Amino acid sequence: MTKKNRVPVNLGRYKAFAKYDGKALSTLYNEWKTATKAQSGTSIGFNRYKGNLFNYIEQHGIQPRVMGNSGPKGISSEEKEFGSLIDAVEALVNKRAFDVNQIKEIIKTYKLMEDMHKNGNESDDNPRNIMFTDNTDFDEDDGTINTRGDKPVYGHYITDNYIKRRKAYNKVGGRKKKSVAKAVNSAYYSYEKGKARPPYWEYTLGPKGLRVVLARALATMKDITYEISDPILIDGNDRRYQGAGEYSYRNFDEVNRYFKKIFAKNSINDYITTSGNISTTKIVNQLKGIKITAENNAENEQVKEWMKAEGLPGTIETFYIRISRRQVNNIAQKYFKKNIEAALKAREKKDESNVSKSWRQILAW
């Protein structure tokens, strides 16, 4: 059985520990990372890029730029880079502390990539549809281009025509001879949209891509069980908290048992003040130290709503709550009114007995 370590998680307002089995994610991600790192920029036709495919993906994002025929000279400024996303995945893989923003990053990016995968074969935003100009008509003696022969090519710029034209261009004496790019796999480019299979596409949206890794990351997160450390505050005018105190009493055994115990005959007086009011502050403070277990999906979703964490993948296993003094009083009056009234009457009788006894003693003196 795989050990599920307790990993610290920052869920915004609340701190927690997460337990999950990340073995399958770790295997898939490390295979993807190894494969992308093994492909140098030159091997995939990025002749001016000194890094490897992993570096390139890490520093680029969903929105591709339309590159000129010279290829990428370096890393461009992207609308959304993958670096922070990869950090989030690696936090899960390595079971190190992560936070709610990293969870959101994985969910949001996976949804975007999945939508592009399903509907993006004709989209200009799809990396396989980055458009270049292919010079199909040129002078074979000096490389002069006849633009009437230009046509769009998708996915990659190093076509057979590109290599032939560069060689022809280099024939002319006096020109600075530049090395001609090596041919790339013909599958990297296509003259039809949605057909090219360049490495950047293959390892982001394609069948070997980061999209597949994110799908596994999402499945891993859905298997997470959370232990919430900070008491969840269910107070205020937010609609999420309406009836929260009574819900807790009716649905959580730990809360139900607590109230029944403190308002039992032998302990109720400890929770009624000398003026006859409920000791709401005392109850609030004791209650927030009681660990509660969510036992079904409905309770899980309710707790997430109180946390303002709707949509959080995974299961809330244990948590604590801090309800308002008003809600404590409502529970007491609705479910224990008779017990409270009986305790107050007993207290009155006892007080009357003490006063009577005191006067008899005075008179006897």
Q: What's the pLDDT at 365?
A: 43
Indicate whether 49 belongs to any domain.
yes
Indicate whether 332 belongs to any domain.
yes
> What is d(CA 260, CA 130) in angstroms, rounded to the nearest whole number?
68
Spatial contact of 259 and 279, defined as CB atoms under 8 Å apart? no
Residues 74 and 211 in one domain: yes
Residues 320 and 360 in one domain: yes
Number of domains in the chain: 3
- 3-state DSSP assignment of residue 329: helix
Residues 236 and 276 in one domain: yes
Residues 201 and 345 in one domain: no
Q: Can you name the residues that pair with 292 across neighbouring β-strands?
A: 319
Q: Which CB contacts under 8 angstroms, 24+ apart, belong to 352-356? A: none
Residues 86 and 207 in one domain: yes
- 3-state DSSP assignment of residue 12: coil
Q: Which CB contacts under 8 angstroms, 24+ apart, belong to 173-181? A: 181/45, 181/47, 181/71
Q: Can you name the residues that pair with 152 across neighbouring β-strands?
A: 133
C-alpha distances (whole Å) from 257 to each of 79, 251, 343 are 54, 11, 19
Indicate whether 82 belongs to any domain.
yes
pTM score: 0.82
Residues 290 and 335 in one domain: yes
Indicate whether 154 belongs to any domain.
yes
Q: Which domain holds residue 166?
A: 131-188
Residues 214 and 116 in one domain: yes
Residues 175 and 72 in one domain: no
Residues 144 and 259 in one domain: no
Residues 256 and 158 in one domain: no
Residues 229 and 330 in one domain: yes
Indicate whether 66 belongs to any domain.
yes
Q: Can you name the residues that pair with 226 across neighbouring β-strands?
A: 18, 316
Averaged pLDDT, groups of 10, the chain, 365 residues long: 79 95 96 94 79 89 46 42 92 96 95 83 82 86 84 90 85 69 86 91 92 97 96 88 93 97 95 94 97 96 94 96 95 95 89 56 47
> What is d(CA 348, CA 114) in angstroms, rounded to the nearest whole number?
71
Q: What is the dihedral of CA 266, 272, 278, 284, to 10 degrees?
A: -70
Residues 248 and 319 in one domain: yes
Look-up of token digits 């898939």: 28
Indicate whether 1 belongs to any domain.
no
Indicate whether 32 belongs to any domain.
yes
Between vectors from CA 304 to CA 242 and to CA 326, what angle results, nearest 5°? 30
Instruction: Give the burial class of 225: count Cβ atoms within 10 A of its Cβ; 0-12 exposed, 13-18 middle, 19 or more buried.
Output: middle
Name the nearest CA neighbour of 64 among 143, 138, 120: 120
Q: Tokens for 145?
A: 């281009």
- Side chain identity at 255, as an amino acid letter? V
Q: What's the pLDDT at 173?
A: 65
Q: Tokens for 309?
A: 């964490």
Spatial contact of 71 and 47, defined as CB atoms under 8 Å apart? yes
Spatial contact of 64 and 130, defined as CB atoms under 8 Å apart? yes
Q: Tokens for 340?
A: 């409270």
Indicate whether 106 belongs to any domain.
yes
Q: Which residues contact 68 (CB under 8 A, 6 or more apart)?
A: 132, 157
Distance in Å from the first CA to the final CA of the chain: 81
